[in-house]
Structure 1
Amino acid sequence: GSGGGNEEIMNYENVISARQTLHDHLMWQAGLAGFNDEEMASVTILISYVDDDGYIKVPLEQIAEEEGLEILDLEEIIPFIHEFDPPGVGARNLKECLLVQAKHLEEDTNDLVQLINEHLKDLEKKNYPAIAKAMGLEMEDVIEMCKIIYSMDPKPGRAYLPQDTHFITPDVYVYKVGDEYMVALNEDGLPRLRISNLYKNVLKGGAANGANPEAQEYIQDKLRSALWLIKSIAQRQRTIYKVTESIVRHQRDFFDKGPAFIKPMILRDIANDIGMHESTVSRVTTNKYVHTPRGIFELKYFFNSGINKTDGDSLASESVKLKIKQLVGEEDPKNPLSDQKIVELLKKEGIKIARRTVAKYRDVLKILPSSKRKKYF
């Protein structure tokens, strides 16, 4: 699968990059803030409730009750934590987080504070005209303030999260040699399995050496299991090899020209090609990665349904998604493309697709609807 790698090396690297945690950073600041012992006890407890995002989500009443403290003491301490770095830390919700960051700013922030306090919903919807109207301000002033808010960090604690890098070890490689593609299995990640000579000798010597017949039977049984395991791993490797070869044959255009040229292909296409069950193909392509000249892909990536084109050909859903991504990437941010407009543009390229399908692909691609993509600046 996608694990593998040299354990010792990996662990050593993890130790090297251990960064200061958010709690360490906050406790360090608390130590310099000149609190008395009693205050320090409350600060320490509050800091222990700060989550990975930098928020204190547990209600103060609950903290006071669980820790046997006075709620008033906690309420007095919270503003001090709000002075700590990173700005916004110790907030109870998004609004408070933004307000705390606004207080850290140099300039006069009355309007900004009012905007955060009263118009957060409109801000989330990017409904700037409504904010301007409600606050009796010019549109450009509202937009300036919104720019400031967008530059704030809604999750101030995130900068202190350990960076967990997951390395993918490919199970199979595809190389281009001349005009052909060669498939090679990655044998490194596999355990080297063989039967111990000790047991073979016990079986060979057998009764002649006075071996216990029950022990012999037991070893014989385990030997069969071990041989079966070795055989089935080899069998699975052969299947991965055959499946990859078949994928390369079916998706030649992808390998030659890139992701936009991926073809519609279902499990049955490969299963029929190599004479195996679809369920087998499905099993060996899940969580198995192939290293290709085009990058590393999960084998499952190559299977996708088709969208019929007006000229009778069919196009892989992956390449339709790619086209949608491209169209949105090239749109005018002040006048983003609606889903209907995308349908019309795709139709011009001979791709017939329903609006709800565009919306579905957009969601998969994590692209916001056009109303939320509109940029005023």
Structure 2
Amino acid sequence: MHSGAAADPHDGGPGATLRLDRFDFGPLKEGEALVEPILGSWEANIDHALARSPIDVCRSRGEDAVVLGNSGLVRALKVNAGNRDVQVREGDLCLLLPFGRTDRFGYAELVHAYDEPGTIGLLAKQSKMAARLLLPIPDGTPYSLPQWASYGRYFTAWDNWQKAYGCWRTQVADADPADHLVFGWGGGVAFAELLLARRAGFRVAMTAGSDERVSFLRENGITAVDRRRFPDLSLPTRQERTDRDRHQRRRTSVKELLDVIGELSDGHGVAIFVDNIGEPLYDITLTAMARQGVVSTCGWRAGMRLSQLRGAECISRHLHVNTHVWRLPDSPGIRDFQESDGWIAPKGADMIYDFDRVPELAEDYANGRIGSYFPMYRVNPL
């Protein structure tokens, strides 16, 4: 992706922002590895980068061109360990951990192949990166490479769930999770998080907007709430704000959804609401919450500026959890939990685009045309 100043004119679609080009990088420094990307996971941060919102990553990094893609599976071709303690060996198949700059506790401040200057992503036939970011997948694993390549949504969900559940327990220490509902707006991270909630004994439900996704949720033990039953949930656009009929349709859709949530929660509301959408649905999220409930987010699909009535949130004792990525030192433990407990993307749940179809993938993702929660791109063959 080139900077706005350097980019050629195009039709404005996200796919047209990408350009196939030669990208040069220097020799391996100590602690770096040359890698061959195999499978990349298409994450929301790529969509944000192509939309140049909330930031123009090229301008933020001070670079004319950026190679995106910071979640997926690579093969280590060459490792320059030097005097550093490096765990990865040449030939290893590894997960790329998307950490650029971390704080003193190991949490991400800047993200690899996004806003960290000088970092190179997976949308390249070869790339180089810090070897400390390469986490080998277990030898002899029973899971497929596409299942492992979806790890980013699961690692993010793990961290967010631990914080959300911990906060909920501070206020209702003795409550039985079986009497409480965890609800999520649709998405891959929310799906993974609700599986953890189900393991913890909660009732779980999630919205879905297609027959494919409704069936997928049911097959995985999650109550599917068909989003198509409530077609006007999103806030009216600027053009629609004076349309009284549009507002009435929204009130109808919201009431009908809240009735469903009431039935699922025995009238108490949502104990933990996973909301990675943002502004268009945020007022509904808060309205649907139970007392002592937690609203938890680790990103946004649309609209990151939110407003709330603080007094109402205080009186209802709502806790707001916001997380980003996860803690780098926790990565091996999360991987090992996936391997031992099978908390991993269901086999065959992915949708893979070949490398030359990446612009098409960008367009399909931006326009909601992908049925899978785990869209991917194949860069090199195994």
For normalisation by structure 2, the TM-score amounts to 0.20
Instruction: Report the structure, 1 or 2, having the larger helix content.
Output: 1
Instruction: Report the structure, 1 or 2, having the larger strand content.
Output: 2
Q: Quick one: higher RCO (CA 8 Å, sep 6+), 1 or 2?
A: 2
Q: Which has the larger radius of gyration?
A: 1
